Structure formats: structure tokens, C-alpha cells
Amino acid sequence: MKKFGVLNQGISEVIAGMGHGDQLVIGDCGLPIPQGIRRIDIALTPGVPGFLETLCVILQELEVESAVIANEMEDVSLKMYEGVRELLGAVPIQRCSHEEFKKMNQKAVAVIRTGECTPYANIILNSGVNF
């Protein structure tokens, strides 16, 4: 049995298989997930697990080069945006419209669906290298 880190088999498997430039999406429970993209559904009930707590755990295992969020996150869900900024620290964050964000999901290796019910609580993490 794994002792620490991400215990979810699907998430652990995806992160271990990612290479430089691959994209992993963490989304709220309403984010549409394109056909053919791996769905890792960890939603239990509304709000559980939350988006920020999921992002925090993923950032402990995934080397992130940059991230993408929808413009609407800062405008509509300021606390969520501030939490993302705090967790990502110096990682560059690109912005786009929510519609463009949904199109970009088509390139992801997987989408992790959380129980988050806050509008626009979605992020694309671009994998970096740790050397």
C-alpha cells in the first residue's frame, strides 16, 4: 500500500505518466469533459473534495511549468482566484475565456472532476521538468 502522496490510483497513474508539456485539468463538478479524454471523478458530494484542496495535493507531486485559468475566475470567484495564486506562487498563469478554456480541455491527458460547486473553479496544469 502506498504510504504518502496521491493515494487515488487514477491520479497517481496519470501524473507518473506525464511528460514535459502534457496537460492535466482540475475542474469543478460542472466542467464539461470532452469525449475521449480520461475522466477521473473524485466528486463525492457538493463541495467534497474541494478544488483548492485537490490542487494543493496535485502540486505536491506534479512539476508545473505554467497554468491556464478562465478570465471569469477572478471576476466571479475572487476568493478561488486568490487561493489559486497563493498555491501556484511563481508559476505563470495564462488566461483565456471560459469558452476557450473548454476547447483547450481537448488536449488534456486527463480531467480530474472535483465536487467543487464554485463557478469557474477550473485549471489546466502544464507539466514541466524537474531538472
- Give yes or no for residue 66 having a pLDDT over 90: yes
CATH number of 18-127: 3.40.1650.10
pLDDT above 70 covers a percentage of the chain that reads 100
**Is-above-0.85 flag for pTM?**
yes
Q: What pLDDT sits at residue 5?
A: 87
Catalytic residue among 7, 9, 16, 20: 20
Catalytic residue status for 20 = yes
Q: Using one digit for the tens of pLDDT, what is the confidence trace for 9-33?
A: 999 999 999 999 999 999 999 999 9
Given a contact cutoff of 8 angstroms between Cβ atoms, the answer to whether 122 and 26 are in contact is yes
pLDDT tens digit sequence for 73-128: 999 999 999 999 999 999 999 999 999 999 999 999 999 999 999 999 999 999 99
Annotated binding site: 28, 98, 120-122
Report the binding-site residues for substrate: 28, 98, 120-122
CA distance 5 to 66: 21
